[in-house]
Amino acid sequence: MEECKLSPGGEELDKKLDGALTRAMNKSRFKGKKRETMAGIAPAGVELSRVILIGMGKAEDFDATLAQAMGGELIAQLTSAGEVDAALIVETPQGSNVSHNELAANLAFGARLRAYRFDRYRTKEKEEQKPTLKTVSIMTSDPSAAEREFKPLDGISTGVFFTRDLVSEPANILFPESFAKRCEELSSLGVDVEVLGEAEMQKLGMGALLGVGQGSVRDSQLVIMRWNGHPDKNEPPVAFIGKGVCFDTGGISIKPAGGMEDMKWDMAGAGAVCGAMKALAARSAKANVVGIVGLVENMPDGNAQRPGDVVTSMSGQTIEVLNTDAEGRLVLADAMWYCQDRFKPRLMVDLATLTGAIIVALGHEYAGMFSNSDELSDRLAAAGKSVGEGLWRMPLADSYDKDIDCDVADMKNIGGGRAAGSITAAQFLQRFANKVDWAHLDIAGVAWSKKDKPTIPKGATAFGVRLLDTFISENYEAK
């Protein structure tokens, strides 16, 4: 195994500490691997309370994503130690492709992402349970240049936090109408926000979306967000569409009680679209983007949709609803059709916590991606890889499509049994893509984390916000 070496700054500090860092490394299992940490109390006689070493791995493997993870790991260490102020010394690994200023900015970005905390409903938290860390200073040779590098990342973080806040809210606080009002906050950043209520959707013929929400006392909403940042205002927009089921009981096909509380985040796709729109606006992206979210509650009252009901979608296609818990695809069907009909987008990407089957297939590491376009799939996958939000492409085929053919209507909303549930759901959505380049991201396994990750504290992940922002910046922004 290669010898673990301190950086030049670390060597200088080690001299001031009479070799304490070297001795600690030699007496521990710390080898300087990626994100490996070693923390200790600083020796007496120096103006430091503790020193934390973090492994950078091999210089040739070091990138911005790893720098963000390091920033997050350091924040976790400092928070658990009860520190109030901290200074991070920035040194670029020799042979790395990451510049000094990029490193500083991404360390700060990762630290900020990990420091997020949703605590607005904690009223009796003990002082020792509250985070003490107030400030983190990034020590760099060119602060102004590092700040310029950080500015767009800071804008993206506001989008991430917006999504995490939305997804974390309980369903008695965040329901279709209140969600729509939160979307309207984006108008302060220059986003054009429009909200359609049930009367407007009824006139448009959105029987699929409205059928899902008819059992709730909360009115369904459709929110349209437009960011026109491209120099050519007539440039066709890229469209993002989100499933926003603010709470999903399953309707008459009711879910088991165990774990149903998790269904407050069945709107994570819509949350990601809103966060992406905020990130794009916050950093003044030079692109035309439209975000559309369908907001409903799926509840089982006396007016609720029944298994066997037939609804007519905005497209005119009829759907037999065999399972009212397969509701997200009904919401997306009308939202996708509305998007094409009104905005004529160059492409559509929908995000949805659509199926439990995708968790069986991919666990909690990747989102499932389905698409009718190889180019679009490649661009989305590349964007996801660059920010650590992995996508795994799944198949679409005529043989799967036949599974949703129906004797009563044009199609049914579920396939023929448990097999290929995520695929038949995607095949359903493809019938509303209408030959527009389209991708469906099933994020059911990655929208919420039950454990801490380097830049994601346990809870809402905001998966998709950074992916979509990068997808736009790398492919569709005016240069």
Distance between alpha carbon 108 and the CA centroid of its chain, in Å?
19
Residue 145: is it exposed, middle or buried by C-beta count within 10 angstroms (0-12/13-18/19+)?
A: middle
Half-sphere exposure of residue 408, counting CA atoms within 13 Å on the CB side? 12
Question: Tokens 């973080």 identify what position?
Answer: 157
CA distance 40 to 23: 12
CB of 167 closer than 8 Å to CB of 271: yes
Instruction: Give the span between the Cα atoms of 441 and 426, in whole angstroms.
Output: 9
Return d(Cα 229, Cα 104) in angstroms, integer: 28
Q: Which residue has the tokens 């130690």?
A: 81
Which amino acid is located at 125 in the chain? E
- Compute the C-alpha angle 301/305/310, nearest 5°: 165
CA 164 – CA 475 distance, rounded (Å): 26
Two tokens, residue 68: 């963000």
Decide: 318 and 412 in contact? Cβ < 8 Å. Answer: no
| Residue 22 burial (10 A CB sphere; 0-12, 13-18, 19+) | middle
Identify whether the C-beta of residue 220 lies closer than 8 Å to the C-beta of residue 325: no
CA pair distance 278, 260, nearest whole angstrom: 29
Nearest Cα neighbor of 109 from 141, 81, 146 is: 146
Residue 146, token pair as written in the block: 């590092």
The pair phi, psi for residue 151, each rounded to 5°, is -55, -50
The single-letter DSSP state of residue 365 is T
State which amino acid sits at residue 317: Q
Separation in Å, CA 172 to CA 179, 243, 449? 11, 18, 22
Inter-residue contact 402 to 430 (CB < 8 Å): no
Q: Is 26 helix (H, G, I), strand (E, B) or coil?
A: helix
The CA-based diameter of the chain, rounded to the nearest angstrom, is: 82
Mind telling me the catalytic residues?
A: 255, 329
Of residues 363, 374, 379, 423, the one with CA closest to residue 397: 423
d(CA 373, CA 368): 15
